[in-house]
Every structure is written in structure tokens, then in C-alpha cells.
Structure 1
Amino acid sequence: MATTTERARPRIASHAFLMLLLVAFLAPVAWALVSAFKPANEIIRNPLSFDPTTFTLDNYIAMFQDVPIGQGFTNTAIVLLFKGAITMFFAPLAAFAFAKYQWAGKNLVFGAVLVTLMLPTIVLIIPLLLEMKELGWVNTYQALILPGAVDAFAIFWMRQVISAVPDELLDAARVDGCGEFAIFWRVIVPVIRPGLAGLAVLTVMNIYNDFVWPVVAANSERMSTLQVVLSTLAQNITGNRIGADYATVTGELLAASSVALVPLLVLFILLQRHFINGILAGSVKG
């Protein structure tokens, strides 16, 4: 029989490997967060140095003066609020119809929904942009919010989660006199909360990090989301500050990236348990 030491060796090896992966993934993030507080010239001269006595807020102060990052955060928050709400309401509702009802052409329609997952975003940009132009929605919140608000992945994932809900619960609710929407709201939603939590985290991350569509649909500074602002950050710095050198741009770039990173980092740390539970709920075979 294998001894306790022999059984523990594979576990120790796997933990050591995972720790190495953790360090590899977090090292660049930690370096960026720390370097944002260093003097700009020091970042270039000695990138790996760590001297707390030289830490300064100059990069952050200059970045807020040179870059409209506040406007980017505001636009992103508005898009996140409305687009996220649409996704979290209509995607589970559509998934409920696919998971718990039998109707003509259901499999064909669901297959068509899944096919859209195979289409690269770049293929849809020109048709969507032409549609936004015809509607007069270019450089508006409607263009940033409505396209892709109910995506195929959200519907597919919610269908997998809802499929695991016993039909007996729905039948019992119908016997008690509940309507179909009441069944969804009072029976389905409370049961699938872990899946909804996982979908919420993914939805926030996708909307927050979205770049391709916002940079096309809203090309004015007034409507730029956070990721678009970050993409043009170097131009904003050099344009607003005469004689800005490479060190200045690098310092402010790290400061802006750190500010943009913190909200997602905090969100994931606070909701990681719900995210993991949601992933497990979404993996149930329907």
C-alpha cells in the first residue's frame, strides 16, 4: 500500500506548479501597479527597482490632467448598467423558453443562435455600423448598448443551467395557479442564482473590456468608453503636454492602466465564489 508521503507527493507537485503559474500571471500585474507609483524616469532607468521612499502620485495627477479617463469611466458605467441589465433579464428568459418548452422549430432556432457564436466580431461590424447609421445612432448610447446585448453564449449557458431544474417544480407552480412568467420569476430565478451570478461576472468583464465595437460605433471623445480612452492615451498625453517624453508617457500609461484594472480586480475578488459556483452550474449537461 502507498504510504502517506507517497500519496502526498503528486499533490505537492501540483500545488507547486499552480503556484508557479500564479506567480507568472500576477507578476506583470504587480509590476504595473507598483511602477505606477514610481517616478517616470526611474521606471525607464531601472524597471525592476523597488524603493518605497521614492513612491509618488505624480503619474496619477498628470494622467488625470492629460487624459479624459473620467469621461471614459462614466460612459463605461452607463453602458455597463443598461447593457448588463438587458443581458441579465432577456438571456435567462430566452433560455427558459429553449429549456422548458416544446414548440415547432425550437431546435432549428437554437441551432441558429449557436451558429452566431462562430461568427467573428469583425464580420458583423460593417453591417451593424451601417444599421446604426441608418437609425442615426452613431456616437450614441443606443449604439453602444443594444447591439450584442443578448448574446448567444449567455442564452446557451442559461439554457444549460435551467435544463437542470426539475420539471416537477414548474408543474407544482402551475397547479398553484402561477402564470408562465410568474414561474420564471418566482421558481426558476431563485433556483439558478449561482448561474446568474457567474453570468453577471462574465457580462461585466466582457462589457468593461469591450474595445472593437465601441471604437467603431462611438468615435467621438464625448462617447468614448474606458478601453477606447486607454487605446488613445499616448496621443492624449503628447497632445496635451508639450515635450512629453517616453518616460512621461510610460508613467501615465501605467497609472491609467492601474486605475482601469482595480475595479475588475476588486469585483473578481469579492465575487470569485459566486463565479466558480456559476461556472459549475453552467457545466451541467442539459
Structure 2
Amino acid sequence: MRKKKIPFIEQLGVHTILLAAFLIMAIPFFWMVSTSFKNPDEIYIFPPRWVPHRPTFDNYVELFKTVDFGRPLINTVIVAVTSTFLSVMLSAMAGYGFAKFRFRGKEKLFLLVLATLMVPGQMTLIPVYLILNSLNLLNTYAGLILPGVASAFGIFFMRQFIMSIPDELIDAAKMDGAKEFFIFLKIILPLSKPALATLTIFNFVGAWNSFLWPLIVATDEKMYTLPVAISVVQGQYGEKIALQMSGSFIVIIPIIIVFFFAQKYIIKGLSMSGMKF
């Protein structure tokens, strides 16, 4: 069948809107990166300079020496990587159970898990804080990581994807004597790579950018994560715009790298995760 040709005016309109959206998102990002390499005398001049005449790394050096930005960076890496790994694995296990296992009350239990999506996270802050306080987990890595490990959205997302995997593959593996853990490790996980990559991106970005929970749990500056450290820089060094832009750029770099390498899996995972019950 011959494809219908899109009118030139319609193509022009779509491309204009896309270009405008790109500029709206790209210009602030470019300005942030450019400012992070500027000398103080180049920031407030008019008309503004989009490209610094004398690029310098002094802002980044000062950020790690004066503000001690290295410790929050290490904390954020530990929290984001550990939280993402545990959350993705638990979501995959639970999603596999809800998708392929048969047990009494499965549908009601799954609906109960989905019901937690309607509860705002702010409502659980105080109860979770009190629980962690009673367990002496405040100002620890465990306190920063554990509350974000269980994800109702992750369980739902993985269940929807795993449901598309043919039952014949699992039945054949069981006939060959394979145990459940072997089936999950060697069949379910390899076939779920697009969904796992997508969920990894969602969890990693959420954990990396998390601000409110680390601000509440971390009572010591040694346990601050990058978003909290950025707020401290803004409060103590508000007049040093280049210093703030340097910290913001460091926060964004890992997210860009992760998304760049996993974008094809994200598109495939979203397209293959049907919303059927």
C-alpha cells in the first residue's frame, strides 16, 4: 500500500514546534555548561557571552576543595547504584511472580500493590522516618537506600512485560528439570532486557536526583548527596554563580551518560510493555 504523503505545511509546522521545544530545553543547559567555565568577570557582562573567552576549570577545582564536593558525589553514587540494583531485581522477581505464578489471592494482592501508587509519597515520610529512627538507621546508607527499594510501579511495569513472554519457554525448562531460580536467571532476565534497562533508567534518575528524603535522613554533612550539597552551595555561596553551575553540571553528567547508552532499550521496553491485566 502506498504511503500517504504528508503536506509540506504540516511537516514545516511539526518541525518548527520540535525545533522550538529543543531550543527551550537546550539553551538553559548550554548556558549552565558555559557559565561553569567562565571567570567571574564574564558572568555579569552585557551583552552576555555564550562562549567564555578564557575557559577555566577553577570553578570545578574550588568546588571540590572549598565545598568538599567529593564526599556527596561518592554518597550519591553508592545510594543511586545500590538502590537501583536492589529495586530493579526485587521488581523483576515480584513481577515474575505476579505474571507467571498461580496462587490464591494473586489478583487481590496485585491490586493492593497498585493501590499504593495512589498514596502520595509525602504522606509516608513521617511513618518511614519514625521506623528508621527506631531502628537507628538515620544518617546511614541503609536509611537512604531501603525506603526506595520497594517500587509498586516497578512491580507493575515488570509484570506487564513478563506476561508477554510465552509460557511454553518456562514449561519446556521445567520439563528439563530447571528450578525456578534458574528459569528466572537464564530465561526471564535475558528476555526482559528492554524492560530492565527502562526501569533501571527510571530508578537511577529518581535516586540520583532525590532531594527531600536525603535532606531528612542525612543529619550529618558527611552523608549529604549531590542534590542536598547543591542546595548548601546555593545557600552559602549564592553570589558565586559559576560555582553553582559547576555543581549542577556534575549532577547531570551521569544521567546523560546512562541515558545515552540505554535509550534504545527504553524505547523498546516502553513499546513492548502492554498495559493488560
Q: TM-score, normalised by structure 1?
A: 0.90
Q: C-alpha displacement at 1:42, in angstroms?
A: 2.3
Aligned equivalents of 1:267, 1:3: Cα separation in 2: 36
Structure 1: state its 5+ residue gaps.
Answer: 238-244
In structure 2, the residue corresponding to 1:53 is in which secondary structure? coil
Per-residue CA deviation, residues 227-251 of structure 1 (Å, 9 max, x unaligned), is 11111113343xxxxxxx72xx211
Quote the residue 1:241 is aligned against: none
Q: C-alpha displacement at 1:198, in angstroms?
A: 0.9
Q: C-alpha displacement at 1:51, in angstroms?
A: 4.5
Q: For the Cα contact (< 8 Å) 2:35–2:52, is it kept in 1? A: no
Quote the residue 1:254 is aligned against: 245
Quote the residue 1:273 is aligned against: 264
In the TM superposition, 1:21-100 aligns within 5 A as 21-46=21-46, 48-100=48-100
Q: For the Cα contact (< 8 Å) 1:40–1:59, is it kept in 2? A: no
Q: TM-score, normalised by structure 2?
A: 0.92
Aligned equivalents of 1:270, 1:167: Cα separation in 2: 31
Q: Count matched residues.
A: 276
Q: C-alpha displacement at 1:47, in angstroms?
A: 7.0
Q: CA RMSD in A?
A: 2.1
Quote the residue 1:213 is aligned against: 213
Per-residue CA deviation, residues 49-94 of structure 1 (Å, 9 max, x unaligned), is 1344232223222222222221111011111222122112111000
1:201 aligns to 2:190 (yes or no):
no
What letter matches 2:10 in structure 1?
A: P
Percent identity for Structure 1 against Structure 2: 33
Q: 1:3 to 1:151 in 2, by over 3 A?
A: closer
Q: 1:12 to 1:146 in 2, by over 3 A?
A: same
Q: C-alpha displacement at 1:105, in angstroms?
A: 1.2
Structure 2: state its 5+ residue gaps.
Answer: none
Q: For the Cα contact (< 8 Å) 1:68–1:229, is it kept in 2? A: no
Q: 1:8 to 1:164 in 2, by over 3 A?
A: farther
What letter matches 1:174 in structure 2?
A: K
Q: For the Cα contact (< 8 Å) 2:144–2:214, is it kept in 1? A: yes
Q: 1:30 to 1:284 in 2, by over 3 A?
A: same
Per-residue CA deviation, residues 13-50 of structure 1 (Å, 9 max, x unaligned), is 32332122111111111110011111223212337313
1:285 aligns to 2:276 (yes or no):
yes
Quote the residue 1:168 is aligned against: 168
Per-residue CA deviation, residues 251-272 of structure 1 (Å, 9 max, x unaligned), is 1101111111112112212221
Q: For the Cα contact (< 8 Å) 1:80–1:207, is it kept in 2? A: yes
Q: For the Cα contact (< 8 Å) 1:164–1:284, is it kept in 2? A: no
